[in-house]
A and B are shown apart, each in its own frame.
Chain A
């Protein structure tokens, strides 16, 4: 099922996008948008309270800052359009300290103290794992924006959904055809030796071998390592592609030392932008990555064929064409991930409108309404691209982007199909009772 907003003409949509992105909201306030209640009417109604579980402190804080900024921009936009069922959204933000135990406490507070209608926003997987069971016990719809495979794997519960961002399994899997066809068939993987790296190792190996490729070597780097030169001799000489997913403060050192090791004659290199999310790609030391490829959840740099939706989304969030804050060109956003908050809030809105949500008694109807969704077209509500939501696994699937670093900027080289990202269902949450 699609978002339930009624169709509008292209011209009207363009005008609406422009106006709403600027935050004026006058179009909606005057009732110009069909199917929407006026802004003033929405503001006077009892708000829909959405608990925003945000990583404001702890290791997720740099992501949390941009998740918060995106969420505030999105709520401003939705409220300017008339809110949800004529009611404005009120965000109740609670910091979870990127701490699983506190995550569960935050969910508890949302239910018992803040009396929110739904909760959303969690990013780090271990916090999702810590919080989701409590959300299930409290029968609190819990919309995560995490990328983890934990939802689709069947490890969570009926109340936990991930409709606004794709999961790591589908992302990694979708890279295999491009790499096999364009970069080489013999891959050496370099990854941090813990769950994050293991997911990449396992999902990519499976997908790449299905493409007829071979993983020559899997080099696991201890998480406390800060110098990598001693690992590079393990890279087999006939390696055609290096697949790297290093994260943490030593990433720049990793790149520098890799460059020193290979010099000008290097194999093809493919990485995940997670390594360099919020890092300026023109930073000194990253020159070695020129012409190499990256997965991007959403292209950080505005492309030549930039969609009107991306343009409006950037304006609304306050991000320039290089993915930096409009107030500081050095303040790079977490562009590949934060759109998930924007899209998830729109799914919540669409779900509540479809379920004619009124009170917390309608939570199960909301879950069913979201489970009934399928196609989500590329739109201002889904600026990252079209998606297909799988109601059984509670996971959305969408296009993935592969960019090449050119002159310190990432240029889009390939967009995967959604089909490339699909895999067999591993669970069916709709079979679980409420």
Chain B
């Protein structure tokens, strides 16, 4: 392999990894699977998608994301205010358990509900079923109970328009550093402090700058979840429920802010780095023995650096692909599409990869931890209660000890990654067809990005099969 090729591999390795929590026998079985065959099949599937799209006329490509109307919804009531209040009460209960319950993170409801039920499962549900967050965000209900308008009038602060969602980008990076680099993000009390602090911070922001303004531009989870909701096959527009190929909702209100584009790139870059930082490859780079990992405390700086570098690298790679695409498509044409427009609009095409990654990355952790969540719910203070009537219940990881289930899980993860990339490729072509309004130019603009996505599939699947040590 040439030096250049090695550099490319290292760079993309750095950008993309799919990992769950380490489990020795699971990984042992994965290493014995014919993953090279599966990986090849996955890459071929994505490459074939690119080829098929290349020969389709642009009007068919643009029609792919046409939604079909299903039915009308009655005008929305203020019901979401009450469900939001219920969500706040549930969060309050979790915080009480976080502060006062068991110190073991596998027995305390707070870390299990925040990291497993919400961060893993809810994000996937949001992308599947649409904007559930609208109903359960824990601020909106409380906000309506406070004299918000009076407070804003007396302070009269406004977020400058040009800030876009940049505050959300920064807050999301800080959150990710807590999740990935902090030594103990699962510690119940530590997490309770962080969650209650963030809840208070957000409410203050809403009171000072306006609820909707703060949530849509500074509250990173609302920004993230709103984007994820737009991937759902089912969506609503002006009380009309419609169905279409995932991504159709992105065309009713395209991403036209470069800060949102950066947010999506940050999301994918951090998602990719999370997991890669557990692989032998990363540990070797930072000089850590993967069989004797010295603990998260020992790699805080390396993880922080890796996370920030991965964001920079992905933004650079994506920008380079867009720049080359724009250069190819604009050549010898008077009607040009700017780099900024292309960069911003096409960033939306990364969303399916991001959610596929999220699903694949956390699948095994979810399959273990939801069991702990059940046990913690039945006995919140670990004092022998059995509120759910589970009886003598043992959490099991036996499915990770069994080759047949390990294979099923791996193939499910791999399928998610491949489907995510296929949807992204289709979405990118669809966006390009609308941007350039010309089949050939759209196709030219897509060459580098399509190659990037094929390579990303390869590396994503390859790292899904890679050994882990942290």
Residues of B within 8 A of A226 (CB): 31, 280, 467
Contact yes or no, A247 B291, CB < 8 A: yes
Given A95-B105, A95-B186, A318 and B394 touching (CB < 8 A)?
A: yes
Contact yes or no, B295 A93, CB < 8 A: no
Please provide the chain B residues from 396 to 448 with a CB less than 8 Å away from any CB of chain A in the complex.
Answer: 396-399, 401-403
Contact yes or no, B31 A253, CB < 8 A: yes
Contact yes or no, A328 B28, CB < 8 A: no
What is the distance, in angstroms, from A279's C-beta to the closest C-beta of chain B? Answer: 5
Please provide the chain B residues from 247 to 292 with a CB less than 8 Å away from any CB of chain A in the complex.
Answer: 280, 283-284, 289-292
> Which size class do B's interface residues fall under?
35 or more
Residues of A within 8 A of B397 (CB): 62, 65, 331
Please provide the chain A residues from 252 to 300 with a CB less than 8 Å away from any CB of chain B in the complex.
Answer: 252-253, 256, 278-280, 283-285
Asked whether any CB of chain B lies closer than 8 Å to the CB of A234, the reply is no
Closest to A249 in B: B27
Residues of A within 8 A of B291 (CB): 192, 194, 196, 223, 247-248
Cα distance A97–B470 in the bound complex, in angstroms: 11
Contact yes or no, B24 A99, CB < 8 A: no
The segment out of A27-35, A52-60, A162-170, A373-381 that lies at the interface is A52-60
Contact yes or no, B297 A101, CB < 8 A: yes
Contact yes or no, B283 A224, CB < 8 A: yes
Asked whether any CB of chain B lies closer than 8 Å to the CB of A69, the reply is yes
Cα distance A293–B296 in the bound complex, in angstroms: 36
Given A226-B467, A249-B28, A325 and B398 touching (CB < 8 A)?
A: yes
Please provide the chain A residues from 151 to 197 with a CB less than 8 Å away from any CB of chain B in the complex.
Answer: 192, 194-196
Asked whether any CB of chain B lies closer than 8 Å to the CB of A111, the reply is no
Residues of A within 8 A of B467 (CB): 226, 248-250
Asked whether any CB of chain A lies closer than 8 Å to the CB of B217, the reply is no
Contact yes or no, A329 B398, CB < 8 A: yes
Contact yes or no, B398 A62, CB < 8 A: no
What is the distance, in angstroms, from A319's C-beta to the closest C-beta of chain B? Answer: 10
Cα distance A252–B33 in the bound complex, in angstroms: 11
What is the distance, in angstroms, from A367's C-beta to the closest C-beta of chain B? Answer: 25
Contact yes or no, B292 A223, CB < 8 A: yes
Asked whether any CB of chain A lies closer than 8 Å to the CB of B21, the reply is yes
From A102, A249, A326, A327, give the contact of B183 (CB < 8 A). A102
Residues of A within 8 A of B30 (CB): 249
Given A56-B106, A196-B291, A327 and B394 touching (CB < 8 A)?
A: yes
Contact yes or no, B294 A126, CB < 8 A: yes
Given A56-B106, A95-B187, A97-B296, A328 and B396 touching (CB < 8 A)?
A: yes
Asked whether any CB of chain B lies closer than 8 Å to the CB of A348, the reply is no
Contact yes or no, A62 B280, CB < 8 A: no
Contact with A along B375-412 (1 / 0, CB 8 A): 00000000000000000111111110111000000000
Given A249-B467, A284-B403, A98 and B104 touching (CB < 8 A)?
A: no
Residues of A within 8 A of B23 (CB): 62
Asked whether any CB of chain A lies closer than 8 Å to the CB of B334, the reply is no
Contact with A along B182-196 (1 / 0, CB 8 A): 011011000000000
Residues of B within 8 A of A332 (CB): 398, 401
Contact yes or no, B403 A249, CB < 8 A: no
What is the distance, in angstroms, from A391's C-beta to the closest C-beta of chain B? Answer: 31
What is the distance, in angstroms, from B354's C-beta to the closest C-beta of chain A? Answer: 25
From A57, A58, A194, give the contact of B289 (CB < 8 A). A194
What is the distance, in angstroms, from A74's C-beta to the closest C-beta of chain B? Answer: 16
Closest to B24 in A: A249
Cα distance A280–B187 in the bound complex, in angstroms: 32
Asked whether any CB of chain A lies closer than 8 Å to the CB of B298, the reply is yes
From B103, B105, B290, B298, give the contact of A92 (CB < 8 A). B103
Contact yes or no, A250 B28, CB < 8 A: yes
From A93, A194, A256, A327, give the contact of B107 (CB < 8 A). A93
Asked whether any CB of chain A lies closer than 8 Å to the CB of B212, the reply is no
Please provide the chain B residues from 288 to 311 with a CB less than 8 Å away from any CB of chain A in the complex.
Answer: 289-298
What is the distance, in angstroms, from A241's C-beta to the closest C-beta of chain B? Answer: 24
Asked whether any CB of chain B lies closer than 8 Å to the CB of A330, the reply is yes
> Which size class do A's interface residues fall under?
35 or more
Asked whether any CB of chain A lies closer than 8 Å to the CB of B102, the reply is yes
Asked whether any CB of chain B lies closer than 8 Å to the CB of A251, the reply is yes
Closest to A331 in B: B398
Asked whether any CB of chain A lies closer than 8 Å to the CB of B20, the reply is no
Contact yes or no, B394 A325, CB < 8 A: yes
Asked whether any CB of chain B lies closer than 8 Å to the CB of A136, the reply is no
What is the distance, in angstroms, from B320's C-beta to the closest C-beta of chain A? Answer: 31
Asked whether any CB of chain A lies closer than 8 Å to the CB of B25, the reply is yes
Asked whether any CB of chain A lies closer than 8 Å to the CB of B230, the reply is no
Contact yes or no, A101 B183, CB < 8 A: yes
Cα distance A94–B382 in the bound complex, in angstroms: 13
From A93, A97, A114, A250, give the contact of B31 (CB < 8 A). A250
Contact yes or no, B292 A94, CB < 8 A: no
Residues of A within 8 A of B395 (CB): 65
Residues of B within 8 A of A94 (CB): 103-104
Given A100-B295, A224-B283, A328 and B32 touching (CB < 8 A)?
A: no
What is the distance, in angstroms, from A301's C-beta to the closest C-beta of chain B? Answer: 16
What is the distance, in angstroms, from B297's C-beta to the closest C-beta of chain A? Answer: 4
Residues of A within 8 A of B129 (CB): none
Cα distance A82–B136 in the bound complex, in angstroms: 48
From A62, A97, A285, A325, give the contact of B32 (CB < 8 A). A285
In this complex, which of A114, A194, A196, A331 has the most chain B Cβ atoms within 10 angstroms of its Cβ?
A331
In this complex, which of B29, B30, B292, B402 has the most chain A Cβ atoms within 10 angstroms of its Cβ?
B292
Cα distance A126–B28 in the bound complex, in angstroms: 24
Cα distance A326–B22 in the bound complex, in angstroms: 24
Closest to A193 in B: B289
Residues of A within 8 A of B293 (CB): 58-59, 98
Residues of B within 8 A of A278 (CB): 24-25, 401
Asked whether any CB of chain B lies closer than 8 Å to the CB of A128, the reply is no
Closest to A253 in B: B31
Cα distance A223–B289 in the bound complex, in angstroms: 6
Asked whether any CB of chain A lies closer than 8 Å to the CB of B468, the reply is yes
Asked whether any CB of chain B lies closer than 8 Å to the CB of A147, the reply is no
What is the distance, in angstroms, from B145's C-beta to the closest C-beta of chain A? Answer: 35
Asked whether any CB of chain A lies closer than 8 Å to the CB of B130, the reply is no
Residues of B within 8 A of A279 (CB): 24-25, 28, 401
Closest to B22 in A: A59
Contact yes or no, B32 A256, CB < 8 A: yes
From A102, A126, A284, A331, give the contact of B184 (CB < 8 A). A102
Contact yes or no, B294 A56, CB < 8 A: no
Asked whether any CB of chain A lies closer than 8 Å to the CB of B469, the reply is yes
> Which 7 A-B pairs have CB atoms at the shortest separation, nearest pair first?
A99-B295, A330-B398, A249-B27, A331-B398, A101-B297, A252-B28, A328-B398
CB pairs A–B below 8 angstroms (21 shown): A56-B105, A59-B292, A61-B21, A65-B106, A68-B104, A93-B107, A95-B105, A100-B294, A101-B183, A194-B289, A223-B290, A223-B469, A226-B31, A226-B280, A248-B469, A249-B22, A253-B28, A283-B25, A284-B32, A325-B394, A328-B396
Q: Which residues of B contact A (CB under 8 A)?
A: 21-25, 27-32, 102-107, 183-184, 186-187, 280, 283-284, 289-298, 392-399, 401-403, 467-470
Q: A92-B103, A248-B469 are in contact. List 12 more A-B contacts (CB 8 A).
A: A57-B105, A59-B470, A93-B107, A94-B103, A95-B103, A95-B184, A224-B283, A253-B31, A279-B28, A280-B25, A284-B32, A331-B396
